[in-house]
C-alpha cells in the first residue's frame, strides 16, 4: 500500500501531512529538490527517484507528491523549467505534474487502492503507465522556442550570463543569501576556483566582484535613468530635502538630488527581486496609494517614476541605478523647413557592456495617432544623453548639431538585424496596425 501511495506525483486537495511533518518542512525539502535537480542537470544524467528519496525525502515517502508539487511550482515560476519523467525507448517525454483530469483520476485511484475501478475506466493507459515508468526525471525548458531565438548574445555574453545565472540560482536556493566561502565551494564543482585563472572568466573572484559592483547580486534592483531635463532647484527638490535629511549614498549621487535634472528615473522597465528587495518595494507601493500620490507625490514629481528610489531610500534599502545615461533611439530626418536634421524616436537604454537593451514606448512613431496616421518606427541610430541637447517642444526629437551628429551611433549589424525582425513581425501579424491600414 505504501508503494502504491508513492507511485504518482499528483497530490490531492484533501491530503493531510503526517503529524511529525510541517509545511515548513515541505517547503525546505522542495527547495532541496530544486537544488538537487539543477545541480544534477549539469551531469546530463537523469535524476533517479531513489536519489531523491535518499537526499531529499529521506524517511517518509508519503510526502513525496507534496514535495514534488512544491518543487515544480518553484521550477516553473522562477526558472521556467519543470521535471519530467525520463522516457523509455519508443515513448516521448511527458509532464509528471499533469493537470488533466484523466491523469489526476488515475493517480487518485492508485493512491486509494481502487484498482478495479481505474482499470475499468482506463485499462490501456493504466497498463501503459505501469509498463513504461522509469522512476527517473530530467529538467525540461519551458521557454517557447520563438522566445529563445530572440535571446541573442554573442559567445562571451552567453558565458558571462551563464555564470551569473548559476550564482543567482545558488543564492536563491540558499534562502536568498549565501556566504562567500559556501559560494566558492559550489563553484569548485563547476571547475571555478577562487585563486586560479579560468580560461574563460580569468580571475573568478574579480569576475564575481564585478557582478556585485553592478548591483545584480548585492541589491536585487536595476533602475534606469531618464533624460536630463530642466536642471536647477524646483518644488520637488525643495520638498524632498525638507524630510529626507539622511539620504543613502546612491541617492546623494542622483542628478535629482544634485539639482542637475528634474527627471531622474525612467520607469518603463524596472528590475526588482521581490523577496530580496521587499521593503523598498512595499514603500514604493505606499507612496503610490491614491491619497499620497494625489495630494502630495505627483504634485512634486512627474508620475510614479521617482517613487521607486524614494521608496527604497525611505526603507533604508540600497538600490542600483544603471550608471549608463539614457539613450535616445530613432531615425534621422530633415526638419519641415529642411534647414536642419533631427533624430526622432523614443527613450532607450544600454547595459554597462555597451549593448542596447530596449527602448521605451512603442513600435509606433507617435502613439497618440490612430488609423492611417500610425507609422511604424524604423530606428537605425541612438544618442547618449549629455544634458545639453536641443529638444523639440514635445521632446520627441533632438535637433542635430555638428556635435550631436558626431556622437550619434549607428546600429551595428546585429542591432539592425533585430530591428528588421521586429518590424517584419509587426507587418506579418498586424499586432498594432490593422492590415488594411498598414498597406
**Please, are residues 277 and 285 in contact by the beta-carbon 8 Å criterion?**
no
> Which pLDDT does position 112 carry in this prediction?
41
pLDDT digits (tens, 9 = 90+) for 189-241: 888 888 788 888 888 887 887 776 666 667 889 999 999 999 999 999 999 99
Closest CA to 217 of 186, 267, 270, 179: 179
Q: What is the mean pLDDT of residues 113-131?
A: 41
d(CA 282, CA 74): 23
List Cβ neighbours of 365 (8 Å cut-off, separation of 6 or more).
Answer: 344, 345, 374, 375, 376, 377
CATH 1.10.4190.10 fits 2-142, yes or no: no
pLDDT band at 98 (very low <50, low <70, confident <90, very high): very low
The pLDDT of residue 122 is above 50: no
Q: 9-18, 153-162, 211-220, 267-276 — which is least confidently predicted?
A: 9-18
> Which pLDDT does position 438 carry in this prediction?
54
Q: What is the mean pLDDT of residues 20-45?
A: 87
Q: Which residue has the higher pLDDT, 60 or 272?
A: 272
Rounded to the nearest integer, the mean pLDDT of the chain is 80
Question: Which sequence spans correspond to the domains of the chain?
Answer: 2-142, 148-214, 228-314, 327-438
- Grid coordinates in use for 266? 525612467
**Please, are residues 344 and 393 in contact by the beta-carbon 8 Å criterion?**
no
- Grid coordinates in use for 169? 540560482
List Cβ neighbours of 412 (8 Å cut-off, separation of 6 or more).
Answer: none
pTM score, two decimals? 0.55
Query: Is the sign of the CA dihedral 285, 287, 289, 290 positive or negative?
Result: negative
> Which pLDDT does position 341 carry in this prediction?
85
**Please, are residues 132 and 91 in contact by the beta-carbon 8 Å criterion?**
yes
As a dihedral over the C-alpha atoms of residue 316, residue 321, residue 323, residue 327, rounded to 10 degrees, the angle is -150
**Please, are residues 365 and 344 in contact by the beta-carbon 8 Å criterion?**
yes
Closest CA to 346 of 332, 364, 328: 328
- Percent of the chain having pLDDT more than 90? 34
pLDDT digits (tens, 9 = 90+) for 394-408: 888 888 877 777 888
Amino acid at each position: 500500500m505504501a508503494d502504491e501511495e508513492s507511485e504518482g506525483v499528483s497530490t490531492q486537495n484533501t491530503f493531510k501531512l503526517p503529524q511529525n511533518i510541517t509545511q515548513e518542512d515541505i517547503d525546505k525539502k522542495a527547495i532541496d529538490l530544486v537544488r538537487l535537480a539543477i545541480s544534477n542537470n549539469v551531469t546530463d544524467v537523469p535524476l533517479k527517484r531513489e536519489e531523491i528519496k535518499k537526499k531529499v525525502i529521506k524517511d517518509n515517502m508519503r510526502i513525496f507528491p507534496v514535495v514534488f508539487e512544491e518543487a515544480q511550482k518553484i521550477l516553473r515560476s522562477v526558472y521556467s523549467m519543470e521535471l519530467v519523467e525520463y522516457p523509455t525507448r519508443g515513448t516521448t517525454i511527458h509532464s509528471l505534474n499533469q493537470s488533466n483530469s484523466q491523469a489526476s483520476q488515475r493517480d487518485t485511484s492508485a493512491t486509494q487502492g481502487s484498482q478495479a475501478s481505474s482499470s475499468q475506466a482506463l485499462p490501456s493507459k493504466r497498463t501503459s503507465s505501469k509498463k513504461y515508468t522509469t522512476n527517473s526525471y530530467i529538467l525540461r525548458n519551458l521557454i517557447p522556442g520563438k522566445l529563445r531565438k530572440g535571446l541573442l548574445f554573442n559567445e562571451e555574453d552567453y558565458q558571462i550570463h551563464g555564470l551569473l545565472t548559476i550564482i543567482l540560482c545558488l543564492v536563491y536556493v540558499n534562502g536568498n543569501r549565501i556566504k562567500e566561502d559556501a559560494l566558492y565551494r559550489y563553484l569548485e564543482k563547476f571547475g571555478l576556483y577562487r585563486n586560479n585563472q579560468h580560461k574563460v572568466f580569468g580571475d573568478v573572484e574579480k569576475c564575481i566582484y564585478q557582478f556585485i559592483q553592478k548591483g545584480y547580486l548585492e541589491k536585487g534592483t536595476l533602475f534606469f535613468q531618464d533624460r536630463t531635463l530642466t536642471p536647477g532647484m524646483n518644488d520637488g527638490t525643495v520638498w524632498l530635502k525638507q524630510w529626507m535629511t539622511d539620504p543613502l549614498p546612491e541617492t546623494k549621487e542622483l542628478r535629482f538630488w544634485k539639482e542637475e535634472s528634474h527627471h531622474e528615473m525612467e520607469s518603463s522597465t524596472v528590475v526588482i527581486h521581490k523577496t530580496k528587495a521587499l521593503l523598498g518595494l512595499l514603500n514604493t507601493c505606499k507612496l503610490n496609494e491614491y491619497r499620497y500620490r494625489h495630494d502630495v507625490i505627483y504634485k512634486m514629481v512627474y508620475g510614479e517614476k521617482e517613487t521607486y528610489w524614494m521608496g527604497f531610500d525611505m526603507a533604508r534599502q540600497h538600490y542600483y541605478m544603471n550608471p549608463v545615461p539614457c539613450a535616445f533611439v530613432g531615425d534621422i530626418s530633415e526638419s519641415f523647413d529642411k534647414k536642419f536634421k533631427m533624430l526622432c524616436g523614443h527613450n532607450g537604454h544600454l547595459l554597462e557592456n555597451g549593448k542596447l537593451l530596449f527602448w521605451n514606448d512603442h513600435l509606433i512613431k507617435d502613439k497618440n495617432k490612430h488609423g492611417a496616421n500610425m507609422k511604424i518606427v524604423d530606428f537605425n541610430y541612438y544618442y547618449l544623453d549629455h544634458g545639453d541637447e536641443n529638444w523639440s517642444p514635445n521632446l520627441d526629437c533632438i535637433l542635430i548639431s555638428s556635435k550631436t551628429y558626431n556622437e550619434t551611433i549607428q546600429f551595428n549589424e546585429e542591432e539592425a538585424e533585430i530591428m528588421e525582425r521586429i518590424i517584419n513581425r509587426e507587418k506579418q501579424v498586424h499586432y498594432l496596425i490593422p492590415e488594411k491600414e498598414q498597406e
